[in-house]
Each structure stands twice: as structure tokens, then as C-alpha cells.
């Protein structure tokens, strides 16, 4: 048995044998925290796979054009359902069999594949491909990617396979349906060894992932975070389940492009979408030292809970209000600093009206000076990938000074009047603000709420 001195000697030898990088990470972070306090977090990369486009420029131009990419669901199984519309990925834009080998596709869900494709674009734009040989960079790069729902059909098909025999069950079945696998697969592919985080908070997932990544960098857990959300659960069972909740649009099956209509008086439910959007967030000084492109800045992050109902927000809108107030407080801002709100507004009769009420309450006398829109009219509701996709459009709006429109918004009911809605056509971002700053709302079943405060980069 070793005595206390021998034990201490072994511990000392072990510490001295660690790689130099592991001994210096904490020291450098502590010094930075002492010298500058809160770390600024900027956006240095963006990537997207979505119904409106499968690269950033294409998606942004489609949004600005005011086009809807919602289409008709084809097949006998859909013909029997009340809702027969959705916003899907154009197979002419993305062919997964060309992007991945057959072996790779066996190991991943469709949503994971979308996340990996979007991440590749984001990392390329950020010029951040350190490689496993750069141990310091890999250890200081983390991943935070979420998924709202797993592929329900994968579960159903695997259950049918089990009835035929145990050996018919794929050994990759469990990894395919774990919500943390987009983050895990990305981390493995690029060798990122910082925080490996996954969020699953229903329709607030993507915004929570970005906000959590923002705080990881702020608190010094990483210098770079690859973050966002992915979703691919459009299937007969998925559509049927949401139909039973009376959540989906059913009045526009013969006119799919008119079915998603946030804030409009004829809205009757949301339209499901699929895809992924990925951000590369980076500590400002780290980005400046390497000359990285800077698309925008994350300024604040607010969270709240409704504590009210499984699927409906609080009628008084206090859940949404708290999230927005906390995002502003986190960013050290006031409502007078905000020029645009990208609303969660999914095109449901109850939810859109409550969010409008919360926005009016927050802005008070400044209500008429803030623009409001929801891009879900163009791409539907991507559930766990909604907040991050829409946050991408907010970054682009701040960068280019153009406000994305709400497609299919023609008439607003009295309970939502009083706001400046950007309807059907994009508008220039006007105002007397020194800096373009926006709020991005995302709310999820279970009463979970997130709000991101995003601004153009300013030295």
C-alpha cells in the first residue's frame, strides 16, 4: 500500500504528464474573465437546409421574395387525414444518398443528416475547420444541437421488424432516435471536444440551443460553439398526432401555399416543416484574432415557463413577456433599442393573438416603432428547428437592413391590432436606432419559452 507521500508524488507526476494545453486552458480563461468580465459572442458562420432553400443566400432570397414553399402531401395515407399540407425539403436541392454513404445513412436519422449538411456550410463560412491535430482548438470548440421529435416512423417500422424476429432490429435503431445524436455525430465528425450539449424543448429547441451555446462561451466553457436544431418528423403518424391536437391547418388543403398565415384572421393552425439551421458562435476576440467573418452578435438570452397548460400559452401572455424582458435585461437593453421582433407566431388562432398581446404590453408607447413579422408563412413550422432557422433570418435582417415579411397576412383581427406588421413584402429596416437590434421569440409545448436578442455587429 502506498503511503501519503508516495500517493502525492504519483499525483504530481500525473499532473505534470498532462498535455500543456490542458494545464493552460483554465489559466487563460481565468485571466480573460478578470480582465474583461463578460465575453462578447458573435456569429461567424451560418448554414441551412430548409424548405425555402438549402444554402443561406437561397433561403434568404426566398424569404425576401414573399414566396410560400408549402406543398401538398402526396400518398394514400395522407389522403385520409384532415391536414394534407407540409413544407418539405426539395429533393432537387438535397439528395442524402449523394451526401452520405449507405453505411452512414444507416446510423443516422434524417434530421441528423440535415444538421450535418447545414453544419458543413456554417463551418465553411466561418473558416473553422481546425482538425483533430489542433488539440487546443478542438477542446475549445463545443456543440449544442437539439431535436424536438424523433422520427416516429422509424419507431413504427422497427416495431414491425421486431415482430418478424429479434435480428431484424437494426443495431443503430437506438442511436437513430436519440435526440442528442445530431450533436454527437457532429462532434465525432469534426473532433470537437468542448461542451457536447443537446436540447429538446419542443418548438423552443433551436432558440434554447443557441442561447445555451451563447452562455457556454460567455462563461468560458468554450471559445467556439456550433449550435442550432434539426427536425424531420413529417409522416402520416406525425401529421395525425398533431391533427388530433387540433393544431394543424386543415382549411387550405387545396391551396397549400395559403395554409400557413401567421397573424391573419383566416389562420386555422400551423403547417409542419422540416430542416436544420446551424450557427457558429464565437468569442469576439477569438474571432478577431483569426480574421473570421462576423455576421452579427448575440446580445441577450431570456427564458421562462408558463406553468399553465400542456399545449396552450398563458392567456395573458406573461410567459412570452417574461422571456422577452429577461432577454433585454441580459443584454443590458431597453425596448427603445429594439427595431424588430421576429415572432414565434405559428398561424394558430390562440397563440398568435397571445403573442401579439405580449409584444404590445412589452413595448408600450414604443409599440408603433417596432416592426413584427413571422417567416413561418413561407417555410411552415419546423418545430425543434424553428427558432434557429428564424434566428438565421434575424441575423440576415440585422446585417442587410431588410425586414422579412409574413406571407399570407392580409387582415388582422381587432385583438391583434396596434402593431406594425411586415406583411407579404419585405421592408427596409428604418428607424433612429444607432444599431439594428431585434428580438427572436420561440415558445414550446409544456409552456417553455425562449427569447434571443440579436444585433448587427458593432465595434
* Alpha helix stretches (DSSP H) within 191-317: 205-218, 236-244, 284-289
> Would strands 85-86 and 71-72 be described as parallel, antiparallel, or unpaired?
antiparallel
Quote the DSSP letter at residue 50. B
Residue 235 CA to its chain's centroid (Å): 21
In Å, the largest CA–CA distance within the chain is 82
| Three-state SS at 246 | coil
* Interatomic CA distance for residues 387 and 443, integer angstroms: 9
* Interatomic CA distance for residues 382 and 234, integer angstroms: 10
The DSSP line for 367-394 is GGGSEEE-THHHH-B-GGGHHHHHHHHH
Q: How many residues does the chain have?
A: 459
Under 8 Å between Cβ of 63 and 375: yes
Q: Which of 54, 138, 203, 227 is catalytic?
A: 203
Dump strand ranges (E) for 50-186: 71-72, 85-86, 141-147
* Interatomic CA distance for residues 228 and 219, integer angstroms: 19
Closest CA to 86 of 387, 380, 376: 380
Q: Is 54 a catalytic residue?
A: no
Under 8 Å between Cβ of 304 and 403: no
What is the side-by-side order of every strand in the sheet holding 437-444? 196-197, 141-147, 224-231, 275-283, 41-49, 296-305, 448-455, 437-444, 340-342, 371-373, 420-421
Active site residue ranges: 203
Amino acid at each position: 500500500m502506498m503511503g501519503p507521500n508516495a500517493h502525492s508524488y504519483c499525483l504530481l507526476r500525473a499532473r505534470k504528464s498532462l498535455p500543456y494545453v490542458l494545464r493552460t486552458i483554465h489559466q487563460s480563461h481565468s485571466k480573460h474573465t478578470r480582465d474583461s468580465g463578460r465575453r462578447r459572442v458573435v456569429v461567424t458562420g451560418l448554414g441551412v437546409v430548409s424548405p425555402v432553400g438549402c444554402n443561406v443566400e437561397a433561403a434568404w432570397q426566398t424569404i425576401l421574395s414573399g414566396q410560400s414553399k408549402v406543398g401538398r402531401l402526396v400518398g394514400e395515407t395522407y389522403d385520409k387525414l384532415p391536414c394534407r399540407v407540409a413544407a418539405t425539403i426539395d429533393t432537387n436541392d438535397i439528395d442524402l444518398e449523394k451526401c452520405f454513404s449507405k453505411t452512414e445513412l444507416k446510423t443516422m436519422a434524417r434530421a441528423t443528416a440535415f444538421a450535418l449538411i447545414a453544419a458543413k456550410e456554417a463551418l465553411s463560412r466561418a473558416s473553422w475547420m481546425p482538425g483533430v491535430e489542433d488539440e487546443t482548438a478542438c477542446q475549445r470548440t463545443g456543440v449544442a444541437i437539439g431535436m424536438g421529435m424523433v422520427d416516429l416512423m422509424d419507431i413504427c417500422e422497427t416495431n414491425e421488424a421486431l415482430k418478424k424476429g429479434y435480428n431484424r432490429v437494426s443495431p443503430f435503431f437506438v442511436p437513430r432516435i436519440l435526440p442528442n445524436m445530431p450533436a454527437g455525430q457532429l462532434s465525432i465528425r469534426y473532433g470537437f471536444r468542448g461542451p457536447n450539449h443537446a436540447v429538446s424543448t419542443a418548438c423552443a429547441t433551436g432558440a434554447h440551443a443557441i442561447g445555451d451555446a451563447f452562455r457556454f462561451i460567455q462563461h468560458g466553457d468554450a471559445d467556439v460553439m456550433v449550435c442550432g436544431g434539426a427536425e424531420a418528423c413529417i409522416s402520416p403518424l406525425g401529421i395525425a398526432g398533431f391533427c388530433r391536437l387540433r393544431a394543424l391547418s386543415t382549411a387550405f388543403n387545396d391551396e397549400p401555399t395559403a395554409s400557413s398565415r401567421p397573424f391573419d384572421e383566416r389562420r386555422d393552425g400551423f403547417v409542419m416543416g422540416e430542416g436544420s439551421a446551424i450557427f457558429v458562435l464565437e468569442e469576439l476576440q477569438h474571432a478577431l484574432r483569426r480574421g473570421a467573418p462576423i455576421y452579427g452578435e448575440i446580445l441577450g438570452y431570456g427564458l421562462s415557463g408558463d406553468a399553465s397548460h400542456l399545449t396552450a400559452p398563458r392567456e395573458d401572455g406573461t410567459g412570452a413577456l417574461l422571456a422577452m424582458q429577461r432577454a433585454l435585461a441580459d443584454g443590458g437593453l431597453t425596448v427603445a433599442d429594439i427595431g424588430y421582433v421576429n415572432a414565434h407566431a405559428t398561424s394558430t388562432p390562440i397563440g398568435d393573438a397571445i403573442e401579439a398581446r405580449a409584444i404590445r404590453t412589452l413595448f408600450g408607447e414604443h409599440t408603433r416603432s417596432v416592426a413584427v413579422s413571422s417567416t413561418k408563412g413561407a417555410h411552415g413550422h419546423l418545430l425543434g428547428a424553428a427558432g434557429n432557422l428564424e434566428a438565421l433570418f434575424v441575423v440576415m435582417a440585422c446585417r442587410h437592413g431588410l425586414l422579412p415579411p409574413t406571407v399570407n397576412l392580409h387582415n388582422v383581427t381587432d385583438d391583434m391590432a396596434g402593431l406594425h406588421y411586415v406583411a407579404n413584402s419585405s421592408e427596409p429596416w428604418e428607424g433612429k436606432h444607432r444599431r439594428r437590434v431585434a428580438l427572436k421569440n420561440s415558445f414550446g409545448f409544456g409552456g417553455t419559452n425562449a427569447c434571443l436578442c440579436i444585433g448587427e455587429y458593432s465595434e
